Structure 1
Amino acid sequence: MTRSCTTTSLPQWLARLAMAAALALPAPALAQDAVLPATDKEALFTSPDPKLHRNKQAALHIVRDLLEAGHWELAETYLTERYIQHNPLVASGRARLLEAVKQWGLPIKPIPARMTSPVVAVVAEGDFVVVSFVRDMKDPRDPSRSYTTTWFDMWRFVDGRADEHWDGAEIPPMPAKAE
């Protein structure tokens, strides 16, 4: 004997009423707890496991030396040549990333003794390291207000160098045409 399962859905008018009620409620972002950085960010990039420690240290240098200070001449030390990129705004390959960085014209600064990025957490497992950051955003409903959320970068490491990268980047919308 076979049984079939049927799904009962809400009447359309009730679903619309529920949606309207949800939209009328105050936005939850206004009541959120702020995302805060860790007190000792650099300690998050350590591990008693030698492999995880090496990968976390490479992630620290990617953030501090490359992203914060702009010392992309060090990229070969921390990124493989093939560096697979899952960010839709940047092509794969270390050489192509370096071309993009050059076009962006980012400033080069002294490498700080301690990182300045607002790191929330660092998680390492196997070949992966995930770094989460505080991200301050303007409230699109009220530009005079802002809120915090979390940004992340995740790398897969091969022999202590990042070989693959993921983050939360999105393709931005096209600017509105002036009439």
Structure 2
Amino acid sequence: MTLSLQKNTGSDASKLEANKAIVLAFYEAAINRTDFEAASKFLGSRYVQHNPLIADGIEGFKDFLAFLRENFPGLRAEVKRVFADGDFVTAHTHGVRVPGDRGSAIVDIFRLEEGKIVEHWDVIQPIPEQPLNQNGMF
């Protein structure tokens, strides 16, 4: 019984690491390169978007990337940390739409099915010019 449990734990750990790698590769293709064709390879046949400012579905995601590419050609996002729990992956990210700006702290939550991203939530907080503490946001 212990061997079976260890085998499952190793398999689960491998799945968690694979899910994190999928999200990181997706982030690079989608946000840093705004390359829909490359990013779409990581999406499932459906994509549920919970950000109320982005249209639902794969076409909504495609339109969002086109908006970013057109309006923020210098956009960069640096994933500071990434966590996986079952089929969910959370990324804590420093996003900068315009080079030289302070940017925003972003938390993205992705749900995966069979190695594909099928659902997304996010929260975005602008980095203030004068924070009330010196703890940093990352």
Structure with greater proportional strand content = 2
Distance 2:15 2:29 in 1: 21
Larger Rg: 1
% identical equivalent positions: 30
Unmatched runs of 5 consecutive residues or more in structure 1:
1-47, 109-115, 137-145, 171-179
* 1:129 aligns to 2:84 (yes or no): no
Whichever residue aligns with residue 87 of structure 2, its letter is D
How many Å apart are 1:152 and its aligned residue?
Answer: 0.6
CA deviations 1:44-69 (Å, max 9, x no partner) are xxxx8221122111111111111101
Alignment of 1:22-171 (within 5 A): 49-104=13-68, 105=70, 107=73, 117-134=77-94, 150-169=105-124
The alignment yields a C-alpha RMSD, in angstroms, of 3.2
Distance 2:61 2:104 in 1: 26
TM-score, normalised relative to structure 2: 0.65
Whichever residue aligns with residue 81 of structure 2, its letter is A
Distance 1:132 1:169 in 2: 10
Whichever residue aligns with residue 114 of structure 2, its letter is D
SS of the aligned residue for 1:168 comes to: strand
From the superposition, tell whether residues 49 and 70 of structure 1 become closer, same or farther in structure 2 (CA, over 3 Å): same
Q: Moved runs in structure 1, 4+ residues, more than 3 A?
A: 146-150
Unmatched runs of 5 consecutive residues or more in structure 2:
1-11, 126-138
CA deviations 1:80-128 (Å, max 9, x no partner) are 23210011111111122113322442649xxxxxxx6332221100000
Distance 2:103 2:38 in 1: 31
TM-score, normalised relative to structure 1: 0.51
Aligned residues: 109
